[in-house]
Chain A
């Protein structure tokens, strides 16, 4: 039974600062073990598959993909939206939960932010290749050129360029700012000379001075304040890619918040899945507690229900609008050629997460892992359903077509997972995956016991 009169502990067992240092620093000090090599060889193989398929697409062009007319946006856009969405959970945990002062986020924020950065890197590759000539991608930015033409600033595809690159940059800065004190910690603990030089450079000579902490904390808050609307804007703009058009099933005003909710939903499922391994492999059970996983599951059910709300709203308004094209598209989604994809999406996104209403399931690690995987499958199919069904059945029945991905499409999808997990594995071995300074600040007894009188007597 939970006692509401006591603030719940974030870190179990009241470890000392030194224990925290040793626990979090351990993966960086030990040589990788056999399990690591097995894992990285699997993800590396997947990555290599992707590299080959990307190379082929680079050389021969986008004709290798299943994209056809009228389905000009096939797997690459589906994957792009999927991976950008995965990234959103990281910023939500690190920035939004920080603004809400959810102390439990301190144990998982660093890792989630890392996932954000890798997911956005993975996502960025897809539109790059989709341009057809990736080596000319710099023209996505308004560079002065011989034709004195500029990019089209009214195009949502261009907004994407700005949104995703800003998102990556700001996430990276946010991540790095958070890492500085930890680099200083590692610098002062390491006995290896080479590492010491590296950590000295990366820590920029941080001295843990409170005169610095003061500004540092405010800047961290400001960055969180910027990252919060930024993360909303990114998936909003991704949704604009679809919603500013007039394709039935794409043009609907609920898309922006619906896409954001969906992104957070899938992102949380991914973070939860990966954290289950991380806490087991690195013995972080006391830092990444079951309580934290339970809270994440609550957010999964909340965002899952928001997504369900959006599905229902879309369906209802498609009927309510009296617009024949809209009504047709939604009936076609549910009962047409791609009905299988649609029902995978509905069951994985709306139905299975509802199991999290039951507390025992919320705290059961194998079951929550399975539901998390299902959520990601469902969210991938959501993007598939949105992209493909609407395009394959647009206004002109004469140009209807069925979309089938090719092997290269599949290889690239596998490769994107390979890239993401390879980067993640390298991350666990090269940087502290839990923020040392932040986790220390929320151990029971780490903060001073308050004297009420001073702070609270403003006018």
Chain B
């Protein structure tokens, strides 16, 4: 058994991270409160959007951590903590779902008792789509994911003080058990919070669609923080191009995966042209949404694809920084497209309310990073694979 000979010295984060975080958070909270007072329906949709974004980000970050343990990946060991820092979103994000729960009738058509009474299909679905079962699922998912978060992240943290391989071993087992729970949870979140916005519509691939986008955004957030930390010279020197190449390659791979899933869903529904499915896409080609929908192809597939396709671009720090920011917003664009088409069927709505919630989200992520960074080590110094990570070469 080799001991890690890497000496970790904690560096200070630039003050601007915390300051920006606080400023964004305050502005965001003010905007959100104002929005809920002035336009509760629109604010609920924005809040829902923020919830699904951050929840997906948190869950997929935990998934990335689990993936590293499961696949015995080496290059990612030194990056793992950044993903770990994002995992508390699993129980922070649901805070943004709570205001939605108070405005259920504005958001979810199936929550109206009268509407269900006169609608055969909604009646049929009511054993699944009803308020109490909805809440039970929500609480169960948050609870189970938080439990896994607690167990896995705690073991990872303990290893810093006591570099014992037993923690890795336990985490590998936990990660394996996590995967099925994760799969079910993320599917149910996508069905409950996104698909049931249009309660008559259904698509079996929808859970995977949401997963693909969320994992992409988790990679993008990881990449963005990594590149920024590298710029601030906080990330150790041994993390070089070969390590970053993987981040770029995985972002590229998941851009393709998302496109594959999105295309499969579109093609099958477009081709079969059955009214009960097609209306969902038709609604998304209504008014100015048409340009928004076509833009999605460009924003989340063609541009990132072209930017990351060549081999050198995957390890070019500047390119990675730009593209990770781009992808973070592309995923937002994607979710906005899923959510807001239900709010206003006639055209795009974008104003201070939406911007306010986005700012709130950025503030939450920055402050979360700032606080967890202060409490924990950026490099898992006790991880048995760290030495291999330091020596990693393509």
Interface residues of A in 302-360 (CB under 8 A from B): 302, 305, 309-310, 313-314, 317, 320-323, 357
* Closest 3 pairs (CB-CB, A-B): A456-B240, A254-B204, A4-B384
**A322→B265 contact, CB < 8 A:** no
Which residues on the B side are within 8 Å of A322 (C-beta)? 120-121, 124-125, 200
**B204→A253 contact, CB < 8 A:** yes
Cα distance A4–B167 in the bound complex, in angstroms: 11
A31 contacts the other chain (Cβ, under 8 Å)?
no
**A253→B205 contact, CB < 8 A:** yes
In chain B, what residue has the closest Cβ to A447? B393
A459 contacts the other chain (Cβ, under 8 Å)?
yes
**A457→B240 contact, CB < 8 A:** yes
B102 contacts the other chain (Cβ, under 8 Å)?
no
**B317→A459 contact, CB < 8 A:** yes
**B264→A456 contact, CB < 8 A:** no
**B269→A253 contact, CB < 8 A:** yes
**B2→A246 contact, CB < 8 A:** no
- What 1/0 flags go to B55-81 for Cβ under 8 Å of A? 000000000000000011010000000
**B260→A455 contact, CB < 8 A:** no
Looking at B138-146, B271-279, B291-299, the stretch in contact with chain A turns out to be B271-279
A3 contacts the other chain (Cβ, under 8 Å)?
yes
Which residues on the A side are within 8 Å of B176 (C-beta)? 357
CB distance from A307 to the nearest CB of B (A): 12
- What 1/0 flags go to A1-37 for Cβ under 8 Å of B? 1111111100000000000000000000000000000
**B187→A313 contact, CB < 8 A:** yes
B261 contacts the other chain (Cβ, under 8 Å)?
yes
**B268→A232 contact, CB < 8 A:** no
B387 contacts the other chain (Cβ, under 8 Å)?
yes
Which residues on the A side are within 8 Å of B207 (C-beta)? 313
Interface residues of B in 365-394 (CB under 8 A from A): 383-385, 387-388, 390-391, 393-394
Which residues on the B side are within 8 Å of A232 (C-beta)? 260
Interface residues of A in 220-263 (CB under 8 A from B): 229, 232, 236, 240, 243-246, 251-257
Cα distance A7–B387 in the bound complex, in angstroms: 10
**B393→A4 contact, CB < 8 A:** no
Which residues on the A side are within 8 Å of B87 (C-beta)? none
Interface range on chain B (Cβ under 8 Å from partner):
35 or more
Which residues on the B side are within 8 Å of A236 (C-beta)? 260, 264
A458 contacts the other chain (Cβ, under 8 Å)?
yes
Residues of B within 8 A of A (CB): 1-2, 4, 71-72, 74, 120-121, 124-125, 128, 165, 168-169, 176, 179-180, 183, 187, 191, 200, 202-208, 238, 240-242, 249, 256, 260-261, 264-265, 267-269, 271-272, 274, 276, 315, 317, 383-385, 387-388, 390-391, 393-394
Q: Interface residues of B: mostly helix, strand, loop or mixed?
A: helix
**B2→A256 contact, CB < 8 A:** no
Interface residues of A in 59-107 (CB under 8 A from B): 99-101
**A244→B272 contact, CB < 8 A:** yes
Interface pairs (28), CB distance under 8 Å: A2-B169, A4-B72, A5-B384, A6-B2, A6-B388, A7-B74, A7-B388, A232-B260, A240-B267, A251-B268, A252-B204, A253-B204, A253-B269, A254-B204, A255-B268, A256-B264, A256-B268, A257-B205, A317-B202, A322-B120, A322-B121, A322-B124, A322-B200, A450-B391, A450-B393, A452-B238, A456-B393, A458-B241
CB distance from A382 to the nearest CB of B (A): 16
Cα distance A254–B206 in the bound complex, in angstroms: 8
CB distance from B228 to the nearest CB of A (A): 16
Cα distance A164–B335 in the bound complex, in angstroms: 35
In chain A, what residue has the closest Cβ to B177? A357
In chain B, what residue has the closest Cβ to A302? B179
Residues of A within 8 A of B (CB): 1-8, 99-101, 229, 232, 236, 240, 243-246, 251-257, 302, 305, 309-310, 313-314, 317, 320-323, 357, 450, 452, 455-459
Which residues on the A side are within 8 Å of B384 (C-beta)? 3-5
Which residues on the A side are within 8 Å of B179 (C-beta)? 302, 305
Cα distance A1–B164 in the bound complex, in angstroms: 13
Cα distance A232–B253 in the bound complex, in angstroms: 13
Which residues on the B side are within 8 Å of A450 (C-beta)? 391, 393
Contact of A321 among B168, B183, B205, B276 (CB under 8 A): B276
Cα distance A251–B278 in the bound complex, in angstroms: 13
**A240→B204 contact, CB < 8 A:** no
In chain B, what residue has the closest Cβ to A324? B124
Cα distance A302–B261 in the bound complex, in angstroms: 19
**A320→B202 contact, CB < 8 A:** yes
Cα distance A321–B264 in the bound complex, in angstroms: 19
Contact of A313 among B165, B200, B204 (CB under 8 A): B204
**A254→B208 contact, CB < 8 A:** yes
